Amino acid sequence: MMPKIFPLTFIFSLFTICVFAQGSQIKIANNSLAKLHISIAEKADFKKQLTIIGEGIKALETAEKDKKTKNWPETWAIKSYLSSYVALIDENEVNSDKYFQFATDALENAIKLDKFQSNTELIKAATYNINVKKQREGSKAFVQNDFGTAFKLLKDVSDFMPKDTLLASNVAICAQNLQLYNDALAYFLRAKENGIKNPTVYQNIASIYASKFENELAIKTIEDGLKINPYHVFLTNDYINLLLDNEQYDRALKAIEASLTTEKQSKLLYYLYGYLQQNQLKNTGTSELAYKKALEIDHNYFDALYQLALVYIQNANDALKAKNTRQFNSMINRAEFSLLKAHEININHKNTIKLLIDIYTRKNRLDKVQELKRKLNEF
């Protein structure tokens, strides 16, 4: 976070050389700078500091109207610094905001007029204070979910302090909420490039890339996040889902296998592992074990029950081809048991009902067939 006030130790010396060459009002303003420096060193209360600054501001108001001194960069540089200081220390919010605007306008004039860069340090100090004020107001707006105001203010501060990762990520969050996705990506990437570890930043970057169909960049981003946050559950899940969405099944299997060494109570990982074994490798034995493992964790896991039933039906069909009646009956009974439990959990799942109808048709249980058909016709 920024310190509250830019140090003033170097400012006074910049003006002492040229005091006698400047107008009397600039001398008064310059003296206010010196007095303010002393009051800061002595840790004087803010009221005293405001009184000192008031003398300088009053002199500068006169200097602004003078044909000669209104074109001096010193006039505006001093005004910008003194005004920015008031904006930081004045507890009256209305007054603080007024002087913030004075400081911003004066800084613009100072930069424009300071062709020989004789006021560089003072301009830097004013710029710093202005950004402190912007950060305060932007952070307040952010907390209040006023993302438009927060984005406008915090974006400027982040551009001034690009290595502040928290600031960059907050700007990105504002942009996301405003649906400014290119800006969101730019500031999330700024946070990432400067070493942020927060896994949600990597998730957000990947999500934006995926929405742009830049899938390899999305995958690479999650991989970068996992290097910094190994075995992070949500990053791992996002990584596996991205691989599955992009039909990179071999990589997905390896990722799931690696995750299962640490996440032994994740029913989703066991389910996904079983699903890939079943549908990509046609390995029904391994998929059956995986689904059963998922059901050990959650006995009412519908997806695992349904897919396990499909495994049993496949095994039953294979047994039928091999004319192994005993094996066929065993597998059909297991499929029926899994489907009935799945049906209890989700009575409106049409495919479950259709499979049960098929099983009861094979078993010549016409009463059950008619009952389930009536249910199906009710949808």
Taking each continuous run of H as one helix and of E as one strand, the counts in the chain are 19, 0
pLDDT digits (tens, 9 = 90+) for 40-71: 999 999 999 999 999 999 999 999 999 999 99
Q: State pLDDT tens for residues 236-279.
A: 999 999 999 999 999 999 999 999 999 999 999 999 999 999 99
Taking the C-alpha atoms of residue 368 and residue 340, their distance in angstroms, rounded to an integer, is: 12
Rounded to the nearest angstrom, the gap between the alpha carbon of residue 150 and the centroid of all alpha carbons in its chain is: 15
What does the pLDDT look like over 305-349, one tens digit per residue?
999 999 999 999 999 999 999 999 999 999 999 999 999 999 999
CA 309 from chain centre, in angstroms, equals 40
Radius of gyration from C-alpha coordinates of the chain? 35
Question: What pLDDT sits at residue 39?
Answer: 95
Q: Are 126 and 81 in contact (CB under 8 A)?
A: yes
What predicted TM-score, i.e. pTM, was given to this entire model? 0.83
Q: What is the pLDDT of residue 6?
A: 53
Q: Which of these, 7, 23, 4, 6, lies nearest to 15 by C-alpha position?
A: 23
* CB of 128 closer than 8 Å to CB of 112: no
Q: Which of 364, 303, 300 is nearest to 332 (CA)?
A: 364
CA distance 123 to 120: 5
**CB 332, CB 316: distance < 8 Å:** yes
235 by Cβ neighbours in 10 Å (0-12 / 13-18 / 19+) ranks as buried
